[in-house]
Structure 1
Protein backbone atom coordinates (compact mmCIF):
# COMPACT_ATOMS: atom_id res chain seq x y z
CA UNK A 1 0.00 0.00 0.00
CA UNK A 2 1.06 3.58 -0.69
CA UNK A 3 0.55 6.58 1.60
CA UNK A 4 0.18 9.82 -0.39
CA UNK A 5 0.40 13.12 1.53
CA UNK A 6 -0.26 16.65 0.29
CA UNK A 7 0.69 19.39 2.78
CA UNK A 8 -1.16 22.57 1.85
CA UNK A 9 -1.29 25.96 3.51
CA UNK A 10 -4.72 25.31 5.05
CA UNK A 11 -5.13 21.53 5.10
CA UNK A 12 -3.06 18.37 5.00
CA UNK A 13 -4.75 15.73 2.86
CA UNK A 14 -3.54 12.15 2.83
CA UNK A 15 -4.80 8.85 1.56
CA UNK A 16 -4.00 5.16 1.25
CA UNK A 17 -3.71 3.64 -2.23
CA UNK A 18 -3.95 -0.04 -3.02
CA UNK A 19 -3.81 -1.25 -6.63
CA UNK A 20 -3.91 2.41 -7.74
CA UNK A 21 -7.22 3.00 -5.95
CA UNK A 22 -7.67 5.28 -2.95
CA UNK A 23 -9.22 3.14 -0.22
CA UNK A 24 -9.12 5.69 2.64
CA UNK A 25 -8.44 9.41 2.90
CA UNK A 26 -8.33 12.10 5.58
CA UNK A 27 -8.12 15.88 5.84
CA UNK A 28 -6.62 17.68 8.84
CA UNK A 29 -5.76 21.30 9.51
CA UNK A 30 -2.24 22.47 8.73
CA UNK A 31 -0.43 23.67 11.83
CA UNK A 32 3.18 24.79 11.39
CA UNK A 33 3.70 24.80 15.16
CA UNK A 34 2.96 21.11 15.63
CA UNK A 35 5.92 18.85 16.28
CA UNK A 36 6.74 15.50 14.69
CA UNK A 37 5.44 13.77 17.82
CA UNK A 38 2.11 15.59 17.63
CA UNK A 39 1.62 14.70 13.98
CA UNK A 40 2.56 11.11 14.77
CA UNK A 41 -0.26 10.90 17.32
CA UNK A 42 -2.74 12.21 14.72
CA UNK A 43 -1.59 9.86 11.96
CA UNK A 44 -1.40 6.86 14.26
CA UNK A 45 -4.92 7.53 15.57
CA UNK A 46 -6.52 8.07 12.15
CA UNK A 47 -4.85 5.06 10.56
CA UNK A 48 -5.91 2.90 13.49
CA UNK A 49 -9.50 4.15 13.29
CA UNK A 50 -9.45 3.41 9.56
CA UNK A 51 -8.15 -0.11 10.27
CA UNK A 52 -5.02 0.49 8.22
CA UNK A 53 -2.06 -1.61 9.34
CA UNK A 54 1.07 0.56 9.28
CA UNK A 55 3.32 -2.39 8.44
CA UNK A 56 1.41 -2.91 5.17
CA UNK A 57 2.44 0.52 3.89
CA UNK A 58 5.49 -0.05 1.71
CA UNK A 59 5.81 3.40 0.13
CA UNK A 60 5.17 7.05 0.95
CA UNK A 61 5.02 10.02 -1.43
CA UNK A 62 4.82 13.57 -0.04
CA UNK A 63 4.23 16.99 -1.57
CA UNK A 64 4.45 20.16 0.50
CA UNK A 65 4.05 23.88 -0.10
CA UNK A 66 4.91 24.53 3.56
CA UNK A 67 8.72 24.21 3.84
CA UNK A 68 8.76 24.40 7.65
CA UNK A 69 6.82 21.13 7.89
CA UNK A 70 9.19 19.06 5.76
CA UNK A 71 11.57 18.24 8.61
CA UNK A 72 8.85 17.32 11.16
CA UNK A 73 7.15 15.10 8.60
CA UNK A 74 10.39 13.44 7.56
CA UNK A 75 11.07 12.67 11.23
CA UNK A 76 7.50 11.53 11.89
CA UNK A 77 7.23 9.29 8.83
CA UNK A 78 10.62 7.68 9.37
CA UNK A 79 9.61 6.70 12.90
CA UNK A 80 6.05 5.63 12.17
CA UNK A 81 6.77 3.66 8.98
CA UNK A 82 10.22 2.22 9.52
CA UNK A 83 10.16 -0.14 6.51
CA UNK A 84 8.51 2.19 3.98
CA UNK A 85 10.44 4.02 1.28
CA UNK A 86 9.78 7.77 1.32
CA UNK A 87 9.77 9.99 -1.78
CA UNK A 88 9.47 13.77 -1.71
CA UNK A 89 8.17 15.70 -4.71
CA UNK A 90 10.93 18.17 -5.61
CA UNK A 91 12.23 19.67 -8.88
CA UNK A 92 14.93 16.98 -8.89
CA UNK A 93 12.40 14.35 -10.00
CA UNK A 94 10.48 16.33 -12.62
CA UNK A 95 12.50 14.96 -15.53
CA UNK A 96 11.09 11.49 -14.73
CA UNK A 97 7.46 12.58 -15.09
CA UNK A 98 5.21 12.34 -18.17
CA UNK A 99 4.58 16.10 -18.04
CA UNK A 100 7.28 18.62 -18.90
CA UNK A 101 7.83 21.31 -16.27
CA UNK A 102 9.25 24.35 -18.05
CA UNK A 103 9.95 26.34 -14.87
CA UNK A 104 10.65 23.69 -12.20
CA UNK A 105 11.59 26.12 -9.42
CA UNK A 106 8.65 28.44 -10.09
CA UNK A 107 5.74 26.03 -9.62
CA UNK A 108 4.27 24.40 -6.51
CA UNK A 109 4.67 20.66 -6.13
CA UNK A 110 0.91 20.31 -5.62
CA UNK A 111 0.33 21.87 -9.05
CA UNK A 112 2.77 19.43 -10.61
CA UNK A 113 0.85 16.57 -8.98
CA UNK A 114 -2.43 18.01 -10.31
CA UNK A 115 -0.98 18.35 -13.80
CA UNK A 116 0.41 14.80 -13.75
CA UNK A 117 -2.95 13.29 -12.84
CA UNK A 118 -4.89 15.48 -15.29
CA UNK A 119 -2.51 14.68 -18.15
CA UNK A 120 -2.67 10.95 -17.43
CA UNK A 121 -6.48 11.05 -17.42
CA UNK A 122 -7.31 13.68 -20.06
CA UNK A 123 -4.19 14.27 -22.14
CA UNK A 124 -2.93 17.49 -23.73
CA UNK A 125 -4.75 20.83 -23.75
CA UNK A 126 -6.10 20.43 -20.24
CA UNK A 127 -6.49 23.04 -17.50
CA UNK A 128 -6.66 22.20 -13.79
CA UNK A 129 -8.46 24.69 -11.55
CA UNK A 130 -7.64 24.10 -7.89
CA UNK A 131 -10.01 25.79 -5.44
CA UNK A 132 -7.70 25.91 -2.43
CA UNK A 133 -6.09 28.57 -0.23
CA UNK A 134 -5.05 30.01 -3.57
CA UNK A 135 -7.19 29.66 -6.67
CA UNK A 136 -4.83 28.26 -9.29
CA UNK A 137 -5.18 27.57 -13.02
CA UNK A 138 -2.56 25.18 -14.40
CA UNK A 139 -2.56 24.67 -18.17
CA UNK A 140 -1.04 21.73 -20.03
CA UNK A 141 -0.54 22.38 -23.73
CA UNK A 142 0.66 20.27 -26.63
CA UNK A 143 3.53 17.85 -26.07
CA UNK A 144 2.58 17.42 -22.39
CA UNK A 145 4.10 20.77 -21.40
CA UNK A 146 2.89 22.74 -18.38
CA UNK A 147 2.64 26.06 -20.18
CA UNK A 148 1.91 28.26 -17.18
CA UNK A 149 -0.19 29.06 -14.14
CA UNK A 150 -2.57 31.83 -13.12
CA UNK A 151 -3.02 32.47 -9.39
CA UNK A 152 -5.67 34.42 -7.48
CA UNK A 153 -6.61 34.49 -3.78
CA UNK A 154 -8.79 31.52 -2.87
CA UNK A 155 -12.42 32.08 -1.95
CA UNK A 156 -11.91 31.53 1.78
CA UNK A 157 -8.79 33.68 1.66
CA UNK A 158 -10.82 36.50 0.10
CA UNK A 159 -13.59 36.17 2.69
CA UNK A 160 -11.01 36.12 5.50
CA UNK A 161 -9.35 39.26 4.17
CA UNK A 162 -12.71 40.99 3.85
CA UNK A 163 -13.72 40.13 7.41
CA UNK A 164 -10.28 40.95 8.80
CA UNK A 165 -9.96 44.34 7.13
CA UNK A 166 -13.48 45.63 7.75
CA UNK A 167 -15.17 46.52 11.00
CA UNK A 168 -18.67 45.23 10.32
CA UNK A 169 -18.40 42.41 7.77
CA UNK A 170 -18.43 38.88 9.24
CA UNK A 171 -16.93 35.54 8.25
CA UNK A 172 -19.56 33.65 6.27
CA UNK A 173 -20.41 30.18 4.99
CA UNK A 174 -19.53 29.96 1.31
CA UNK A 175 -22.65 28.91 -0.56
CA UNK A 176 -24.59 30.44 -3.46
CA UNK A 177 -27.11 33.03 -2.21
CA UNK A 178 -30.71 33.01 -3.44
CA UNK A 179 -30.11 36.11 -5.56
CA UNK A 180 -27.23 38.21 -6.87
CA UNK A 181 -29.05 41.10 -5.17
CA UNK A 182 -28.02 40.48 -1.58
CA UNK A 183 -30.81 41.52 0.78
CA UNK A 184 -28.67 41.15 3.90
CA UNK A 185 -24.98 41.28 4.72
CA UNK A 186 -24.37 37.53 4.47
CA UNK A 187 -26.13 37.21 1.11
CA UNK A 188 -24.33 40.32 -0.14
CA UNK A 189 -20.91 38.82 0.61
CA UNK A 190 -21.93 35.44 -0.80
CA UNK A 191 -23.08 37.15 -3.99
CA UNK A 192 -19.86 39.10 -4.42
CA UNK A 193 -17.58 36.16 -3.67
CA UNK A 194 -19.44 33.22 -5.23
CA UNK A 195 -20.79 34.92 -8.35
CA UNK A 196 -17.74 37.18 -8.66
CA UNK A 197 -15.38 34.22 -8.59
CA UNK A 198 -17.56 32.34 -11.06
CA UNK A 199 -16.97 35.18 -13.49
CA UNK A 200 -13.25 35.15 -12.69
CA UNK A 201 -13.00 31.43 -13.39
CA UNK A 202 -14.87 31.58 -16.69
CA UNK A 203 -12.92 34.68 -17.78
CA UNK A 204 -9.52 33.05 -17.15
CA UNK A 205 -10.60 29.96 -19.09
CA UNK A 206 -11.90 32.08 -21.99
CA UNK A 207 -8.72 34.14 -22.16
CA UNK A 208 -6.51 31.06 -22.02
CA UNK A 209 -8.43 29.31 -24.78
CA UNK A 210 -8.32 32.46 -26.92
CA UNK A 211 -4.56 32.87 -26.44
CA UNK A 212 -3.88 29.21 -27.20
CA UNK A 213 -6.51 29.03 -29.97
CA UNK A 214 -7.57 25.72 -28.40
CA UNK A 215 -10.60 24.33 -26.61
CA UNK A 216 -9.38 23.01 -23.25
CA UNK A 217 -10.63 20.19 -21.07
CA UNK A 218 -11.32 21.89 -17.74
CA UNK A 219 -10.83 19.87 -14.55
CA UNK A 220 -11.68 21.26 -11.10
CA UNK A 221 -10.36 20.07 -7.76
CA UNK A 222 -10.00 21.42 -4.23
CA UNK A 223 -12.35 21.88 -1.31
CA UNK A 224 -14.76 24.38 -2.87
CA UNK A 225 -14.92 22.90 -6.35
CA UNK A 226 -18.29 21.27 -5.59
CA UNK A 227 -19.75 24.70 -4.74
CA UNK A 228 -18.35 26.53 -7.75
CA UNK A 229 -18.60 24.04 -10.61
CA UNK A 230 -22.43 24.05 -10.96
CA UNK A 231 -22.28 27.82 -11.48
CA UNK A 232 -19.52 27.84 -14.08
CA UNK A 233 -20.17 27.70 -17.83
CA UNK A 234 -16.68 26.37 -18.52
CA UNK A 235 -15.81 23.69 -15.94
CA UNK A 236 -16.67 20.20 -17.13
CA UNK A 237 -15.15 17.75 -14.67
CA UNK A 238 -14.68 17.56 -10.88
CA UNK A 239 -11.87 15.40 -9.50
CA UNK A 240 -11.83 15.80 -5.68
CA UNK A 241 -8.82 13.47 -5.25
CA UNK A 242 -6.79 14.80 -8.18
CA UNK A 243 -3.74 15.88 -6.15
CA UNK A 244 -3.42 12.58 -4.30
CA UNK A 245 -4.03 10.68 -7.53
CA UNK A 246 -1.20 12.68 -9.06
CA UNK A 247 1.11 11.86 -6.18
CA UNK A 248 0.29 8.17 -6.58
CA UNK A 249 1.14 8.38 -10.27
CA UNK A 250 4.35 10.34 -9.62
CA UNK A 251 5.47 7.64 -7.21
CA UNK A 252 5.09 5.03 -9.95
CA UNK A 253 7.64 6.89 -12.10
CA UNK A 254 10.31 7.03 -9.37
Structure 2
Protein backbone atom coordinates (compact mmCIF):
# COMPACT_ATOMS: atom_id res chain seq x y z
CA UNK A 1 0.00 0.00 0.00
CA UNK A 2 1.04 3.59 -0.61
CA UNK A 3 1.05 6.33 2.00
CA UNK A 4 0.89 9.74 0.30
CA UNK A 5 1.74 12.78 2.41
CA UNK A 6 0.84 16.30 1.27
CA UNK A 7 2.34 18.89 3.62
CA UNK A 8 0.68 22.23 2.99
CA UNK A 9 0.92 25.56 4.77
CA UNK A 10 -2.20 24.89 6.86
CA UNK A 11 -2.57 21.10 7.06
CA UNK A 12 -0.59 17.94 6.45
CA UNK A 13 -2.79 15.36 4.71
CA UNK A 14 -2.00 11.64 4.92
CA UNK A 15 -3.73 9.37 2.39
CA UNK A 16 -3.68 5.62 1.97
CA UNK A 17 -3.83 4.15 -1.54
CA UNK A 18 -4.14 0.59 -2.74
CA UNK A 19 -3.08 -0.19 -6.30
CA UNK A 20 -5.10 -2.51 -8.49
CA UNK A 21 -4.53 -3.49 -12.09
CA UNK A 22 -2.22 -1.14 -13.97
CA UNK A 23 -1.96 2.32 -12.51
CA UNK A 24 -5.41 2.33 -10.90
CA UNK A 25 -5.17 3.48 -7.30
CA UNK A 26 -8.04 3.35 -4.80
CA UNK A 27 -8.08 5.86 -1.97
CA UNK A 28 -8.66 3.88 1.23
CA UNK A 29 -8.50 6.70 3.75
CA UNK A 30 -7.28 10.21 4.41
CA UNK A 31 -6.45 12.09 7.59
CA UNK A 32 -5.24 15.62 8.25
CA UNK A 33 -3.37 17.36 11.02
CA UNK A 34 -2.42 21.02 11.44
CA UNK A 35 0.95 21.86 9.92
CA UNK A 36 3.59 22.53 12.56
CA UNK A 37 7.24 22.28 11.49
CA UNK A 38 8.16 21.60 15.12
CA UNK A 39 6.06 18.42 15.23
CA UNK A 40 8.44 15.49 15.62
CA UNK A 41 8.40 12.18 13.80
CA UNK A 42 7.43 10.52 17.09
CA UNK A 43 4.42 12.81 17.47
CA UNK A 44 3.29 12.08 13.93
CA UNK A 45 3.67 8.36 14.64
CA UNK A 46 1.56 8.35 17.81
CA UNK A 47 -1.27 10.13 15.96
CA UNK A 48 -1.06 8.23 12.67
CA UNK A 49 -0.63 4.73 14.10
CA UNK A 50 -3.88 5.07 16.04
CA UNK A 51 -5.75 6.13 12.91
CA UNK A 52 -4.33 3.25 10.90
CA UNK A 53 -5.31 0.84 13.67
CA UNK A 54 -8.88 2.14 13.61
CA UNK A 55 -8.97 1.25 9.89
CA UNK A 56 -7.47 -2.17 10.59
CA UNK A 57 -4.30 -1.37 8.63
CA UNK A 58 -1.00 -2.84 9.81
CA UNK A 59 1.93 -0.51 9.36
CA UNK A 60 3.81 -3.37 7.69
CA UNK A 61 1.24 -3.21 4.88
CA UNK A 62 2.64 0.19 3.83
CA UNK A 63 5.60 -0.48 1.57
CA UNK A 64 5.80 2.81 -0.33
CA UNK A 65 5.61 6.44 0.84
CA UNK A 66 5.72 9.67 -1.13
CA UNK A 67 5.90 13.20 0.29
CA UNK A 68 5.09 16.55 -1.29
CA UNK A 69 5.70 19.62 0.81
CA UNK A 70 5.63 23.39 0.44
CA UNK A 71 6.96 23.71 4.00
CA UNK A 72 10.65 22.76 3.83
CA UNK A 73 11.07 22.74 7.62
CA UNK A 74 8.44 20.00 7.92
CA UNK A 75 10.22 17.55 5.62
CA UNK A 76 12.90 16.29 8.01
CA UNK A 77 10.47 15.08 10.67
CA UNK A 78 8.23 13.46 8.07
CA UNK A 79 11.24 11.58 6.74
CA UNK A 80 12.01 10.40 10.27
CA UNK A 81 8.43 9.13 10.58
CA UNK A 82 8.84 7.11 7.37
CA UNK A 83 12.24 5.64 8.21
CA UNK A 84 11.79 4.90 11.91
CA UNK A 85 8.18 3.74 12.03
CA UNK A 86 7.55 2.27 8.56
CA UNK A 87 11.12 1.34 7.62
CA UNK A 88 10.53 2.91 4.22
CA UNK A 89 12.72 5.45 2.45
CA UNK A 90 10.20 8.02 1.21
CA UNK A 91 10.01 9.37 -2.31
CA UNK A 92 10.10 13.16 -2.45
CA UNK A 93 7.90 14.68 -5.15
CA UNK A 94 10.06 16.36 -7.77
CA UNK A 95 13.25 14.51 -6.82
CA UNK A 96 14.97 11.34 -8.02
CA UNK A 97 12.58 8.61 -9.14
CA UNK A 98 9.66 10.90 -8.30
CA UNK A 99 10.77 13.64 -10.71
CA UNK A 100 7.82 15.42 -12.28
CA UNK A 101 8.72 14.54 -15.89
CA UNK A 102 6.60 17.38 -17.27
CA UNK A 103 7.66 20.53 -19.07
CA UNK A 104 7.58 23.40 -16.57
CA UNK A 105 7.53 26.33 -18.96
CA UNK A 106 8.07 29.28 -16.61
CA UNK A 107 10.94 31.65 -15.82
CA UNK A 108 12.01 29.82 -12.66
CA UNK A 109 10.89 26.14 -12.86
CA UNK A 110 12.54 25.26 -9.53
CA UNK A 111 10.30 27.75 -7.71
CA UNK A 112 7.10 25.90 -8.61
CA UNK A 113 5.43 24.47 -5.49
CA UNK A 114 5.22 20.69 -5.26
CA UNK A 115 1.45 20.79 -4.82
CA UNK A 116 0.97 22.78 -8.02
CA UNK A 117 3.24 20.52 -10.06
CA UNK A 118 1.47 17.42 -8.75
CA UNK A 119 -1.92 18.98 -9.48
CA UNK A 120 -0.80 19.58 -13.07
CA UNK A 121 0.24 15.94 -13.45
CA UNK A 122 -3.05 14.62 -12.06
CA UNK A 123 -5.22 17.03 -14.03
CA UNK A 124 -3.54 16.17 -17.34
CA UNK A 125 -3.83 12.44 -16.58
CA UNK A 126 -7.57 12.73 -15.92
CA UNK A 127 -8.67 15.40 -18.41
CA UNK A 128 -7.89 16.22 -22.02
CA UNK A 129 -7.18 19.58 -23.65
CA UNK A 130 -6.07 22.84 -22.08
CA UNK A 131 -6.74 23.05 -18.35
CA UNK A 132 -7.00 25.62 -15.58
CA UNK A 133 -6.60 24.16 -12.09
CA UNK A 134 -7.94 26.25 -9.23
CA UNK A 135 -6.69 25.10 -5.82
CA UNK A 136 -8.41 26.57 -2.77
CA UNK A 137 -5.78 26.36 -0.03
CA UNK A 138 -4.03 28.81 2.26
CA UNK A 139 -3.49 30.70 -0.97
CA UNK A 140 -5.76 30.23 -3.96
CA UNK A 141 -3.75 29.28 -7.02
CA UNK A 142 -4.73 29.25 -10.68
CA UNK A 143 -2.51 27.00 -12.81
CA UNK A 144 -2.51 26.65 -16.59
CA UNK A 145 -1.64 23.30 -18.20
CA UNK A 146 -1.66 23.05 -21.98
CA UNK A 147 -3.01 20.16 -24.03
CA UNK A 148 0.44 18.50 -24.04
CA UNK A 149 0.60 18.50 -20.23
CA UNK A 150 3.12 21.35 -19.96
CA UNK A 151 2.82 23.72 -17.03
CA UNK A 152 2.57 27.23 -18.50
CA UNK A 153 2.26 29.44 -15.40
CA UNK A 154 -0.50 30.75 -13.21
CA UNK A 155 -1.71 33.15 -10.54
CA UNK A 156 -1.36 33.24 -6.76
CA UNK A 157 -4.08 35.05 -4.79
CA UNK A 158 -4.74 35.25 -1.03
CA UNK A 159 -6.93 32.41 0.17
CA UNK A 160 -10.40 33.36 1.32
CA UNK A 161 -9.54 32.64 4.97
CA UNK A 162 -6.44 34.82 4.70
CA UNK A 163 -8.59 37.59 3.27
CA UNK A 164 -11.06 37.26 6.12
CA UNK A 165 -8.28 37.16 8.73
CA UNK A 166 -6.82 40.37 7.30
CA UNK A 167 -10.22 42.07 7.36
CA UNK A 168 -10.98 41.09 10.96
CA UNK A 169 -7.42 41.56 12.21
CA UNK A 170 -7.09 45.10 10.90
CA UNK A 171 -10.46 46.48 11.99
CA UNK A 172 -11.56 47.30 15.51
CA UNK A 173 -15.23 46.33 15.49
CA UNK A 174 -15.76 43.68 12.83
CA UNK A 175 -16.53 40.24 14.31
CA UNK A 176 -15.03 36.94 13.24
CA UNK A 177 -17.41 34.97 11.03
CA UNK A 178 -17.35 31.51 9.49
CA UNK A 179 -16.97 31.15 5.73
CA UNK A 180 -20.21 29.92 4.21
CA UNK A 181 -22.55 30.76 1.35
CA UNK A 182 -24.65 33.85 2.19
CA UNK A 183 -28.34 33.36 2.83
CA UNK A 184 -30.62 34.20 -0.10
CA UNK A 185 -29.59 35.91 -3.33
CA UNK A 186 -29.33 39.53 -2.25
CA UNK A 187 -25.91 41.16 -2.36
CA UNK A 188 -27.05 44.03 -0.14
CA UNK A 189 -26.51 43.01 3.49
CA UNK A 190 -28.83 44.22 6.24
CA UNK A 191 -26.42 43.70 9.14
CA UNK A 192 -22.69 43.70 9.72
CA UNK A 193 -22.20 39.92 9.59
CA UNK A 194 -24.17 39.54 6.35
CA UNK A 195 -22.32 42.45 4.76
CA UNK A 196 -18.97 40.87 5.63
CA UNK A 197 -20.03 37.46 4.35
CA UNK A 198 -21.37 38.90 1.10
CA UNK A 199 -18.21 40.91 0.57
CA UNK A 200 -15.85 38.02 1.21
CA UNK A 201 -17.85 35.26 -0.49
CA UNK A 202 -19.30 36.99 -3.55
CA UNK A 203 -16.21 39.14 -3.88
CA UNK A 204 -14.18 35.96 -4.07
CA UNK A 205 -16.52 34.42 -6.65
CA UNK A 206 -16.28 37.58 -8.79
CA UNK A 207 -12.48 37.55 -8.53
CA UNK A 208 -12.32 33.89 -9.49
CA UNK A 209 -14.69 34.22 -12.45
CA UNK A 210 -12.93 37.36 -13.67
CA UNK A 211 -9.45 35.81 -13.55
CA UNK A 212 -10.58 32.63 -15.26
CA UNK A 213 -12.23 34.65 -18.03
CA UNK A 214 -8.96 36.56 -18.55
CA UNK A 215 -6.90 33.34 -18.57
CA UNK A 216 -9.21 31.75 -21.13
CA UNK A 217 -9.00 34.83 -23.33
CA UNK A 218 -5.20 34.74 -23.14
CA UNK A 219 -5.01 31.02 -23.95
CA UNK A 220 -7.22 31.56 -26.98
CA UNK A 221 -8.58 28.01 -26.93
CA UNK A 222 -11.32 26.30 -24.89
CA UNK A 223 -9.99 25.36 -21.45
CA UNK A 224 -11.59 23.17 -18.79
CA UNK A 225 -11.55 24.42 -15.21
CA UNK A 226 -10.75 21.86 -12.50
CA UNK A 227 -11.31 22.92 -8.89
CA UNK A 228 -9.61 21.30 -5.92
CA UNK A 229 -8.88 22.07 -2.28
CA UNK A 230 -11.01 22.13 0.82
CA UNK A 231 -13.34 24.99 -0.20
CA UNK A 232 -13.90 23.92 -3.81
CA UNK A 233 -17.23 22.28 -2.99
CA UNK A 234 -18.47 25.44 -1.25
CA UNK A 235 -17.91 27.57 -4.35
CA UNK A 236 -19.20 24.94 -6.78
CA UNK A 237 -22.79 25.80 -5.82
CA UNK A 238 -22.20 29.51 -6.40
CA UNK A 239 -20.81 29.45 -9.94
CA UNK A 240 -20.96 27.42 -13.12
CA UNK A 241 -17.32 28.14 -13.96
CA UNK A 242 -16.02 24.70 -12.89
CA UNK A 243 -16.07 21.77 -15.31
CA UNK A 244 -15.05 19.36 -12.54
CA UNK A 245 -14.44 19.40 -8.79
CA UNK A 246 -11.79 16.99 -7.54
CA UNK A 247 -10.94 17.44 -3.83
CA UNK A 248 -8.27 14.72 -4.03
CA UNK A 249 -6.41 15.99 -7.10
CA UNK A 250 -3.10 16.53 -5.27
CA UNK A 251 -3.22 13.13 -3.59
CA UNK A 252 -4.03 11.43 -6.91
CA UNK A 253 -1.07 13.19 -8.47
CA UNK A 254 1.17 11.80 -5.75
CA UNK A 255 -0.19 8.31 -6.43
CA UNK A 256 0.64 8.72 -10.14
CA UNK A 257 4.21 9.77 -9.31
CA UNK A 258 4.64 6.88 -6.88
CA UNK A 259 3.36 4.33 -9.39
CA UNK A 260 5.77 5.61 -12.05
CA UNK A 261 8.62 5.46 -9.57
CA UNK A 262 7.79 1.85 -8.64
CA UNK A 263 7.84 0.88 -12.31
CA UNK A 264 11.42 2.10 -12.79
Asked if these proteins are the same fold (TM beyond 0.5), I'd say yes
Partners of 1:146 and 1:218 lie apart in 2 by 14
Partners of 2:27 and 2:41 lie apart in 1 by 25
Deviations 1:12-62 (A, max 9, x none): 111110021101111221122222221111111211122211101110010
> What's the counterpart of residue 93 of structure 2?
89
> What's the counterpart of residue 175 of structure 2?
170
Aligned length: 252
* TM-score calculated relative to the size of structure 1: 0.94
Instruction: Report how far residue 147 of structure 1 moved.
Output: 0.4
Q: 1:171 to 1:233 in 2, by over 3 A?
A: same
2:140 alignment partner, one of 129, 132, 135? 135
Partners of 1:149 and 1:137 lie apart in 2 by 5
Matched, 1:113 2:118: yes
Deviations 1:129-186 (A, max 9, x none): 0011000011101322100010100011111111111111222111111231122222
> What's the counterpart of residue 221 of structure 1?
228
Deviations 1:97-154 (A, max 9, x none): 3x32224312100011111110000033011100110000111013221000101000
> What's the counterpart of residue 22 of structure 2?
none
Partners of 1:239 and 1:101 lie apart in 2 by 22
Residues 93 and 99 in structure 2, CA contact (< 8 A), matched pair in contact too: no
Residues 7 and 13 in structure 2, CA contact (< 8 A), matched pair in contact too: yes
Partners of 1:95 and 1:5 lie apart in 2 by 16
RMSD of the alignment, in Å?
A: 1.5
What does residue range 4-153 of structure 1 map to in structure 2 within 5 Å? Answer: 4-19=4-19, 20-82=25-87, 84-90=88-94, 97=101, 99-102=102-105, 103-153=108-158
Specify the SS of the correspondent of 1:143.
coil
Partners of 1:96 and 1:73 lie apart in 2 by 20
Residues 221 and 238 in structure 1, CA contact (< 8 A), matched pair in contact too: yes
**Off by >6 Å, runs of 4+ in structure 1:** none
1:200 alignment partner, one of 207, 218, 222? 207
Partners of 2:60 and 2:131 lie apart in 1 by 38
